[in-house]
Structures are given as structure tokens and as C-alpha cells.
């Protein structure tokens, strides 16, 4: 007997038929004499639909009211699920974020969870209830409804699991775990039995869209195992995200790809202290998110500075830098579009040599040029032409997993 938290994403709860499958997963854990808290998303594309309808009114809605609107989808799911479980003879109760409460900061649209009153849920467990909780929402200290950002129900689930000191948090979705890479690119992908929090964090931020990044951070902080499983499967081991218990890790755990990247180069930047700061401060003030940064060695009076940004941000970034050439003391701005980031991730590379060489060999064999390379302790990222990126992923996958 333990405490199990389960989370079901939008596609898993999309229809009444699918909700029945969800009930089976819940009942199975409950019948094992576990206390069960269930977090759900809005059904199917409900949140997208609400946002589209909102745009029919305005593209710049009042932030408070936006959260009131987009949080409604989850409320439909919790009530339907509780009704269904009751009809099946189980004691189930639904709770919106404010009823627990889940207290967040006041940042509408992207609020962070400050605290959760776990006793509300624990008291209901004591009374024999299965507790069904709306994901993605909370309230701020003024009692106003807030939301946690798109995909935020994962974060609600792991945060609830942490507050209840749950044994684990099962995240049910439409794929059966975390794979070595995107199955749409490589046919013979392998499902990972286990992946560490750090690897998962890297993979998510590098383009693998399995889990909300913030939920992995919470899992890591409170040591909550997160299991990613397929709702459609009756029985599945899925992939467990936890601290690595292996004595030796695989060379790499996964390969991620992120498209629509551009490389911007600031040419002839004066090689003086503070110039690089000026460039990035300008971009930060305009909320342009910068990724990989490479600065050439300035053996002369000038240096070149390259960085990557999302292609969608290019017009604003280039216009901003070009209109400030004098202020930043640079000669010109060059931009290279249609690039993809391809990354390998693995804690195994920390104590092995030759991992980067193996990746580069795979690219060399396919005659794929690398426009930029960056590394961290557990990842190597290269920038390649977008039309060669799938090939790059395939070649690297073959090298490491065949």
C-alpha cells in the first residue's frame, strides 16, 4: 500500500471511450490498496479551441481573464472522470486547483507553484476517496485563478506527488515511454527502460517533447520517480525517469532534433570588455531567447560573435542589432537560416572518451557539414542544414545503437 499519482494527458482523456480506459488504470492501482490521486488535462484539443475562440475576441486578452478561460478545460475532465468512477461504484471526488489549494505566484499564463495543501488530499484519502485533480491551474495569493503554461499538467502532477511524498508519478500519454530518438525519423528506435532526470531535462530542452521540463525539475528536486507510459496499453513498464542507479551508463541515452533554428553572427565586434554584454543585454531587453553562443578568439582588435535563435525571432533580432551597430561597435550582422540543432545526450559521456568523435564520424560519413558545435558535460550539439537533419539523426542513431 502506498500513494500513487497518475496523470493523463489531453489525448488520453479525449473521448468518453478513452475515459473508460483511464478509469481502468485508476481502478487497478486503487484495488491494490493504494491511495490514488489523478491529475488530468483538458480533453483533446480543448485548450487550443478555447484560445482560438478567445482570439475571435482579441489577440491581447486581459491576462487574468485569459487564465480563467483556459483553465476551464480541465474542470470538465475532472468532473466527467469522477462521475464515471462513481457510476462504476467507486468513491471519487474532483478538485479544482483552488479547492486544494495549489498556491502559485501571480504570473498569469506561466505561474510557478509555491505550495500545495497536501492535507486536503490526504484527508480525502482517509475517507476512502480517489481524488481527481485539475492539472495546469492554481490560484495566486489574491485567490485569482492562474495557469502554469502550456503542457503544465505534468508539472501539477509531479508537484502533487512531491507534496504527498508519493511512491511515484505515472504520466500516461500516447507513447510508451522515452525513446532513443523520434520514431518518426528513425524506424528501429529503442525504448529506454530508464533515463536520469538530467538527461531528460537536456532532451526536453533540446526538442524532445515528452515531458514538461518543469515537472522533471521538480521530480529531481524531490526525488520522485516519474514513469512515462502509454494509456492504450493495459500493462506497460514504460520508461522511468529517476536518479541513475546503474553503475555504468550507456554511452548516450538519446538523440534530439530541433528545427527552425538560425545562426546570427555579429561581425567585427570591437574586442573590448563589455561589448558582448551590450549585444546580449539588448536581446534580453527585447525578450529574444538566445541559445548556443560561440565567440571567436580576438587575436586582433575585432572578434566575431555567433549565437543561435529561433527562426521566428530573426527579423526582430536582426533589425535590433542592425539599428544598434554603432552602440555595440560592430561592423555587420550576418544571418544563416534553415538550420537544425542535433544533439546527443548521455551521462555516460562524462567518463568516456571518443563520444564526440563518434558523432562527428557519423556526420562525416554522410558528408554533412556542421555549422556550429557546442558541448556540456552530458551533451554534444551540432548545427546542421535543416534538410540534412533527419539524415544526421539516422546516421548518429546507427552509429550508437546498432
- C-alpha span between 154 and 159 (Å, rounded): 9
Closest approach, Cβ 380 to ligand ASP, in A, equals 31
**DSSP H or E run through 123:** helix 118-126
How do beta strands 226-230 and 239-242 pair? antiparallel
Nearer to ligand ASP, 43 or 262 (CB): 43
Q: Rounded distance, CA 233 to CA 354, Å?
A: 39
The distance of closest approach from Cβ of residue 20 to ligand ASP in the complex, given in angstroms and rounded to an integer, is 20
Closest CA to 219 of 237, 197, 245: 197
Place of cell 507510459: 229
Find the binder of ligand ASP among 136, 172, 179, 197 (CB under 6 A): 136
All cell numbers assigned to 70? 483556459
Count residues binding ligand ASP (CB under 6 A).
11
For ligand ASP, the closer of residues 79 and 302 by Cβ is: 79
State the minimum distance, in angstroms, from the CB of residue 172 to ligand ASP.
12
Residue whose CB is less far from ligand ASP, 4 or 42: 42
10 versus 177: smaller Cβ distance to ligand ASP: 10
Binding-site string for ligand ASP from residue 140 to residue 179, where x marks contact by CB under 6 A and - marks none: ----------xxxx--------------------------
The CB density around residue 92, as the number of other CB atoms within 10 Å, is 23
**C-beta separation of 165 from 126 below 8 A:** no
Q: Is 49 or 221 the residue whose CB approaches ligand ASP more closely?
A: 49
Comparing CB distances to ligand ASP, the nearer of 47 and 292 is 47
Does position 97 interact with ligand ASP (CB under 6 A)? The reply is no
Out of 12, 39, 73, 240, the only residue in the binding site for ligand ASP (CB under 6 A) is 73
Nearer to ligand ASP, 45 or 394 (CB): 45
73 vs 254, which CB is nearer to ligand ASP?
A: 73
Distance CA 105, CA 108 (A): 8
Q: Give least dist CB 72 to ligand ASP, A.
A: 10
CB of 251 to ligand ASP, least distance (A): 33
* Minimum CB–partner distance for residue 185 and ligand ASP (Å): 24
Give the DSSP H or E segment for 5.
Answer: strand 3-8
Please tell me the distance from the alpha carbon of residue 277 to that of residue 282, in angstroms, as a whole number.
Answer: 9
Helix-then-strand count for the chain, H and E: 13, 18
Give Cβ neighbours of residue 298 (< 8 Å, ≥ 6 apart).
271
Nearer to ligand ASP, 215 or 362 (CB): 215
Least distance from C-beta 46 to ligand ASP, angstroms? 7
**How far, in Å, are 213, 325, 363 from residue 397 at the CA level?**
24, 42, 11
* One of 3, 4, 8, 10 touching ligand ASP (CB under 6 A): 10
Cβ 399 vs Cβ 291: under 8 Å: no
Binding mask 266-305 for ligand ASP (x = CB under 6 A): ----------------------------------------
Compute the least distance from the CB of residue 318 to ligand ASP, in Å. 31
Nearest to 91, CA basis, from 27, 47, 157: 27
CB of 71 to ligand ASP, least distance (A): 9
Pick from 2, 7, 3, 4: nearest CA to 155 = 7
Residues in region 17-56 near ligand ASP by CB under 6 A: 41-42, 47
Nearer to ligand ASP, 41 or 249 (CB): 41
Residue 21 or 91 with smaller CB distance to ligand ASP: 21
Question: Which helix (H) or strand (E) covers residue 40, if one does?
Answer: strand 35-40
Least CB distance to ligand ASP at residue 19 (A): 15
From CA 182, how far away is CA 172, in angstroms rounded? Answer: 18
In sequence order, the 6+-apart residues with CB closer than 8 A to the CB of 284 are none
Pairing of β 226-230 and β 130-134: unpaired
Least distance CB 111 / ligand ASP (angstroms): 12
Residues 337, 262: contact at Cβ < 8 Å?
Answer: yes
Residues lying near ligand ASP in the complex (CB under 6 A) are found at: 10, 41-42, 47, 73, 135-136, 150-153
Amino acid at each position: 500500500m502506498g500513494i500513487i499519482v497518475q496523470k493523463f494527458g489531453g489525448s488520453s482523456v479525449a473521448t468518453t471511450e478513452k475515459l473508460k480506459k483511464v478509469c481502468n488504470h485508476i481502478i487497478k492501482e486503487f484495488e491494490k490498496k493504494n491511495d490514488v490521486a489523478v491529475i488530468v488535462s483538458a480533453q483533446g484539443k480543448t485548450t487550443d479551441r478555447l484560445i482560438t475562440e478567445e482570439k475571435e475576441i482579441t489577440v491581447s486578452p486581459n491576462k487574468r481573464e485569459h487564465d480563467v478561460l483556459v483553465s476551464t478545460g480541465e474542470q470538465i475532465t475532472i468532473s466527467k472522470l469522477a462521475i464515471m468512477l462513481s457510476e462504476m461504484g467507486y468513491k471519487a471526488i474532483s478538485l479544482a486547483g483552488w479547492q486544494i489549494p495549489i498556491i502559485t505566484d501571480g504570473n498569469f499564463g506561466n505561474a510557478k507553484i509555491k505550495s500545495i495543501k497536501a492535507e486536503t488530499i490526504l484527508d480525502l484519502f482517509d475517507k476512502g476517496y480517489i481524488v481527481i485533480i485539475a492539472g495546469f491551474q492554481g490560484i495566486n495569493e489574491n485567490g485569482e485563478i492562474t495557469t502554469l503554461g502550456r503542457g503544465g499538467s505534468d508539472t501539477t502532477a509531479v508537484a502533487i506527488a512531491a507534496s504527498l511524498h508519493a511512491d511515484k508519478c505515472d504520466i500516461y500519454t500516447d507513447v510508451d515511454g522515452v525513446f532513443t530518438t523520434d520514431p518518426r525519423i528513425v524506424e528501429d528506435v529503442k525504448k529506454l527502460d530508464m533515463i536520469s532526470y538530467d538527461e531528460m531535462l537536456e532532451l526536453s530542452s533540446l526538442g524532445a517533447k515528452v515531458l514538461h521540463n518543469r515537472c522533471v525539475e521538480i521530480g529531481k528536486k524531490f526525488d520522485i520517480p516519474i514513469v512515462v507510459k502509454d494509456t492504450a496499453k493495459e500493462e506497460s513498464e514504460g520508461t522511468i525517469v529517476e536518479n541513475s542507479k546503474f553503475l555504468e551508463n550507456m554511452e548516450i541515452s538519446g538523440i534530439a532534433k530541433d528545427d527552425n533554428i538560425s545562426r546570427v553572427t555579429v561581425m567585427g565586434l570591437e574586442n573590448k570588455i563589455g561589448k558582448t554584454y551590450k549585444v546580449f543585454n539588448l536581446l534580453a531587453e527585447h525578450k529574444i531567447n538566445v541559445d548556443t553562443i560561440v565567440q571567436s578568439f580576438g587575436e586582433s582588435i575585432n572578434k566575431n560573435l555567433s549565437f543561435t535563435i529561433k527562426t521566428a525571432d530573426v527579423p526582430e533580432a536582426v533589425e535590433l542589432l542592425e539599428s544598434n551597430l554603432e552602440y555595440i561597435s560592430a561592423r555587420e550582422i550576418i544571418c544563416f537560416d534553415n538550420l537544425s540543432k542535433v544533439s546527443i545526450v548521455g551521462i555516460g559521456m562524462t567518463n568516456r572518451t571518443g563520444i564526440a568523435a563518434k558523432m562527428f564520424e557519423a556526420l562525416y560519413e554522410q558528408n554533412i557539414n556542421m555549422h556550429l558545435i557546442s558541448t556540456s558535460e552530458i551533451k554534444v550539439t551540432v548545427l546542421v542544414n535543416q534538410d540534412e537533419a533527419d539524415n544526421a539523426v539516422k546516421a548518429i542513431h546507427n552509429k550508437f545503437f546498432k
